[in-house]
Amino acid sequence: ATPTSIMVGTGRAAEMGVLFRKGDALQQLSSVGVVALDKTGTITEGHPELTDLILADGFDRADVLALVAAVEENSEHPIAAAIVRAARSEGVALADIADFTSITGYGVRALAGGADVLVGADRLMQREGIDPGALAEAEADLARRGRTALFAAIDGRIAAVIGVSDPVKPASRAAIAALHAQGLKVAMITGDKRETAEAIAAETGIDQVVAGVLPDGKVAALDTLRGSGQKIAFVGDGINDAPALAHADVGIAIGTGTDVAIESADVVLMSGDLRGVVNAFEVSRRTMSNIR
């Protein structure tokens, strides 16, 4: 590649809202075989809404929301914001809170209104030895429908299953099809459980899913997906994505994402959706094929 053709390619890309922070990334991208996408905020909007609250026998909706939302008010996870918004819109007064802890990749815990309240994934309940009992089936059903399903436990007893829905961005499906048309394999990496992830993958046409990944596991997931000799690009938006963006052969950050993600990436997309990824690959191919 001549410096001039790289400059022209970089300029063309910039006009399309794709910023190559290094000329090297333009070259690297043309030999990438696998694109791994973060789910939340990259494929999906990243602004979930509470859609379901299914109570265990003997629990009251407003009482459970008052405790659960009080705990979640202390969390920065988008799931937490969805739960707090739902409680406020139902006019529920949040309980007093103490001893908040966030268990990364699992959920949250605190003393709320004097009770020990846990909110999180099924693996959090397993870890704490809490049996989901009759609500296990409701949780599985939500996950199969692409919702993130959480359990709330109060003083060691399952009180509710909460369903949270994070819609797929309108451009995701067509962008993933365009990446396939360019001969790329498209994978998804997420902390969500397998059933939820598979439903989103089916909705968007993704080939391969790596689910249940803890935040510090994304780098290892990339190495698994890369297999032998394939170059891999990773697309992400969150603080959790920064190590994977730095580790991938080409790290691509969604421009509406967090600063840490943007600083760790080789390529930054001005738009908030995956069309920019398609443009990045197209410009890279065109630039490199002119030279060969």
List 162's β-bridge partners, or say none. 53, 150
77 binds, among ligand ADP, Mg ion, none (CB under 5 to 8 A by kind): ligand ADP
From the candidates 24, 38, 207, 237, which is the catalytic residue?
38
| Residue 266 lies near Mg ion (rule: CB under 5 A) | no
189 alpha carbon, distance to own chain's centre: 8
CA-to-CA dists, residue 244 to 3, 37, 106, 150, 206, angstroms: 28, 11, 20, 26, 19
Parallel, antiparallel, or unpaired for β 185-189 and 208-210?
parallel
How far apart are CB 264 and ligand ADP at their closest, in Å? 16
**SS3 (DSSP) at 183:** coil
How far apart are CB 242 and ligand ADP at their closest, in Å? 13
How far apart are CB 46 and Mg ion at their closest, in Å? 6
Show contacts with ligand ADP in window 228-247 (CB under 6 A): 240
According to CB under 5 A, which one of 48, 146, 238, 272 is a site residue for Mg ion?
238
181 alpha carbon, distance to own chain's centre: 24
| Residue 215 lies near ligand ADP (rule: CB under 6 A) | yes
Stretch binding ligand ADP (CB under 6 A), from 28-36, 92-100, 137-145, 190-198: 190-198
| Residue 113 lies near ligand ADP (rule: CB under 6 A) | no
Question: Closer to ligand ADP at the Cβ: 27 or 40?
Answer: 40
| Residue 40 lies near Mg ion (rule: CB under 5 A) | yes
What are 209's two structure tokens?
Answer: 């899913």
Q: Please say if 38 is a catalytic residue.
A: yes
How far apart are CB 113 and ligand ADP at their closest, in Å? 18
Stretch binding Mg ion (CB under 5 A), from 33-41, 65-73, 154-162, 243-251: 33-41
Give the max Cα distance, the chain: 72
Cα separation of 223 and 212, whole Å?
A: 16
What are the φ/ψ torsions at residue 44 (nearest 5 degrees)?
-100, 170
- Which string of x and - marks every residue 188-227 that binds Mg ion (by CB under 5 A)? ----------------------------------------
Q: Can you say whether the dihedral through the CA atoms of 272, 243, 240, 209 is positive or negative?
A: positive
- Taking CB atoms within 8 Å and a gap of at least 24, the contacts of 88-93 are 90/62, 90/65, 92/62, 92/65, 92/66, 93/66
| Residue 41 lies near Mg ion (rule: CB under 5 A) | yes
Q: Which residues bind ligand ADP (CB under 6 A)?
A: 39-40, 72, 75, 77, 79-80, 105-108, 119-121, 148, 150, 190-192, 215, 240
